[in-house]
Amino acid sequence: MEEQAKKKVMLSGIQPSGDLHLGNYLGAIKNWSARAEEFDCYYFMADLHTITVRQNPADLRRRTLEQLAQYIACGLDPKKNTLFIQSHVPEHTQLGWVLNCYTMFGELSRMTQFKDKSAKHKDNINGGLFTYPALMAADILLYQPDYVPVGEDQKQHVELTRNIVQRFNGIYGDVFKMPEPYIPKAGARVMGLTAPDSKMSKSIPEGCVFLMEKPEDIQRKFKRAVTDSDTERCVRYDLEHKPGVANLMSIYSAVTGRSYEEIEREFDGQGYGAFKPAVGDAVIETLRPIREEAERILKDKAYLEQVYRAGAEKASYVAGKTLRKVYKKVGFVAL
């Protein structure tokens, strides 16, 4: 326990709004398991955030548990990491409301994701969509983390969180630790198989490889992957002129550990007809143990429940300490 206390705290969450895919794994999750040796890590299924967009309730429940099983199958040991479901820890919404009152309307209206999601869901521009960065700040600050791993699309949220910390601490003293953005060691940046100019996304399923997908479906997607109109059809890393081939090489390199030079030599003179299925096979073999382990875990409902209950208990204990401090500072009567 003493050794745990010395570790710096890190926290991250992914919304269970769709199935985890190869981009999530190679870009982020693959590197998470190694962090447990260095950091006290909290990883949660951000189910509260998903409902800013209408969800099918049964699908949301299924995806939340599948995501937890996949986290474990990807190497996140529940004994070394705190894994929990966001809605199981009521302190998130309790602190979220308090922080709503310390977040300015102008700050929220400038958030890029609010603008993007409002454009996509014009029939459902709800209050939660507008204020969810305050909930995200609560997600972070409850655990007093030293670091928050961020991609490009989340930097704005961490900046807003830091503004809130400055404002709140400026009024009430040293309540929240100032979190630092943590730029992870570069994981592979995986682009879509049908659109190599944009990141792999569940919103374009034909170009997206899901962790739980059947091997034959994965192979079909790789065989149909966009390459280029190069008449030589040579396997060469050229991001500017051959983005589709470069993306496939990046994926192949990430799952086999081979350098681009080695890949070019391996497929010299063979063309895309040999290269694309080879990438498919390498991805299938990388994902096979993850899929099989996740399927095994999902069948063991008692184990999964034990993991998320223990995770919620630990998370709630840590979050509760922060919340009590905040409630006292703002003037609420202690229960």
Q: What is the pLDDT of residues 254-265, one digit of tens each?
A: 999 999 999 999
pLDDT digits over 210-222, tens only? 999 999 999 999 9
Active site residue 214: no
pLDDT of residue 120: 77
Is pLDDT of 57 > 90? yes
Lowest mean pLDDT among 33-37, 97-101, 134-138, 139-143: 33-37
pLDDT digits over 267-284, tens only? 998 889 999 999 999 999
**CATH, domain range 205-295:** 1.10.240.10
pLDDT of residue 62: 94
pLDDT of residue 5: 55
Active site residue 199: yes
Lowest mean pLDDT among 64-78, 227-241, 312-326: 227-241
Token pair in block for residue 42: 């909290």
Kindly list the domain boundaries of the chain, sorted by start residue.
Answer: 2-188+300-330, 205-295
Percent of the chain with pLDDT strictly greater than 70: 96
Active site residue 202: yes
Is pLDDT of 226 > 50? yes
Among the listed residues 7, 80, 199, 223, the single catalytic one is 199
pLDDT of residue 127: 87
Q: Helix crossing, 127-141 with 91-100: angle to 10°?
A: 110
Q: Please classify residue 265 by burial: count the beta carbons closer than 10 Å to its beta carbon, then call 0-12 exposed, 13-18 middle and 19+ buried.
A: exposed
pLDDT of residue 231: 67
pLDDT of residue 187: 62
- Strand 180-182 relative to strand 39-45, pairing: unpaired
Where helices occur in the chain by DSSP H, the ranges are: 2-6, 22-24, 30-35, 47-50, 57-73, 91-100, 105-109, 112-120, 127-141, 155-172, 215-223, 243-256, 260-266, 272-299, 301-330
Among the listed residues 80, 177, 202, 314, the single catalytic one is 202
- Strand 8-14 relative to strand 180-182, pairing: unpaired
Instruction: Quote the CA–CA distance of 323 and 244 in Å, as a whole number.
Output: 48
Mean pLDDT of all residues belonging to the chain: 91
b (16+ CB within 10 A) / e for 64-91: bbbbbbbbbbbbbebeebbbbbbbbbeb
pLDDT of residue 4: 46
In the CATH hierarchy, which top-level class contains the domain 2-188+300-330?
alpha beta
Is pLDDT of 2 > 60? no
Is pLDDT of 12 > 70? yes
More confident residue, 254 or 120: 254
Of 186, 178, 180, 183, which Cα lies nearest the Cα of 147?
Answer: 180
pLDDT of residue 134: 95
